[in-house]
């Protein structure tokens, strides 16, 4: 089935395709000037990585704190017991639990964006890996979501810390801000995210790690960013 594109999408695509983008600055200016929807669109980044044969899955994984946040209100769930549950609640976690939270997730109740766990809870939440794993929100030390320091982690997530991991096709995707952000803030968020992905390069991959970078908005086509070093 061929997806039918909206008139707005096609008009935006025509405008953007007429522009030869040679820099990040020009791309962001173009997206901001072509804004036609009433809601505040997210600026999404897609990074295509070079990979060796079938090593696309698990190629890149990590986390970073965007200097200007994401512009999105993030719902955080925390797996903890004892005094750690109070620490999580005091830090602003939206959902805190252990066995009860595990049961809810088994039943398909996943109403949060990020999951955090204390190290001692990992053996218990292994049973819901098949639920959270495909969504990319299973707590993992490499994404900073398995920690004893719940207060700092929850605050960082609320303030703009995001997780990332490459998909099987070796693409990393994330939202790096809203179009209402200033150009400077979007540029600094972009650079922080790209640098974080670069640092996640595994030793098994030799030479160039990032192949291509694209930006897009919620309701518009993508634009390739050139001359990224």
How much is the average pLDDT of 55-63?
A: 70
| Distances from the Cα of 117 to the Cα of 9, 57, 80, 141, 151, angstroms | 40, 24, 6, 10, 12
Domains of the chain: 20-69+162-225 (3.30.190.20), 76-158 (3.40.50.790)
pLDDT confidence bin for 229, thresholds 50/70/90: low
Specify the pLDDT at position 18. Answer: 43
Confidence band (pLDDT; 50, 70, 90) for 183? Answer: very high
The burial of 15, by beta-carbon neighbours within 10 Å (0-12 exposed, 13-18 middle, 19 or more buried), is given as middle
pLDDT at residue 6 is higher than 80: no
Which pLDDT tens digit goes with each residue over 69-119? Answer: 999 899 999 999 999 999 999 999 999 999 999 999 999 999 999 999 999
Which ranges of 61-182 would DSSP assign to H, the alpha helix? 83-90, 99-106, 122-125, 129-132, 150-158
pTM of the full structure: 0.76
When mean pLDDT is compared across 27-41, 43-57, 100-114, 130-144, the lowest value belongs to 43-57
| Whole-number average pLDDT of the chain | 85
Counting Cβ atoms within 10 Å, is residue 90 exposed (0-12), middle (13-18) or buried (19+)? exposed
How many whole angstroms separate alpha carbon 102 and alpha carbon 146? Answer: 16
């Amino acid at each position: 089935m061929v997806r039918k594109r909206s008139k707005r999408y096609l008009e935006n695509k025509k405008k953007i395709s007429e522009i030869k983008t040679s820099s990040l600055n020009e791309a962001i200016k173009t997206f901001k000037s072509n804004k036609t929807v009433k809601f505040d669109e997210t600026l999404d980044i897609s990074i295509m990585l070079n990979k060796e044969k079938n090593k696309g899955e698990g190629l890149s994984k990590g986390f970073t704190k965007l200097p200007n946040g994401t512009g999105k209100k993030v719902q955080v769930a925390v797996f903890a017991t004892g005094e750690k549950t109070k620490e999580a609640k005091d830090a602003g976690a939206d959902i805190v639990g252990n066995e009860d939270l595990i049961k809810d997730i088994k039943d398909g109740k996943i109403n949060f964006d990020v999951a955090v766990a204390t190290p001692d809870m990992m053996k218990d939440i292994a049973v819901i890996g098949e639920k959270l794993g495909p969504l990319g929100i299973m707590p993992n030390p490499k994404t900073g979501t398995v920690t004893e320091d719940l207060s700092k982690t929850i605050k960082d997530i609320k303030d703009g810390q995001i997780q990332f991991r490459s998909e099987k096709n070796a693409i990393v995707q994330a939202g790096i801000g809203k179009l209402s952000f200033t150009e400077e803030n979007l540029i600094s968020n972009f650079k922080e995210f790209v640098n974080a992905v670069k640092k996640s390069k595994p030793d098994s991959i030799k030479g160039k790690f990032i192949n291509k970078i694209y930006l897009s908005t919620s309701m518009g086509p993508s634009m390739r960013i050139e001359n990224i070093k």
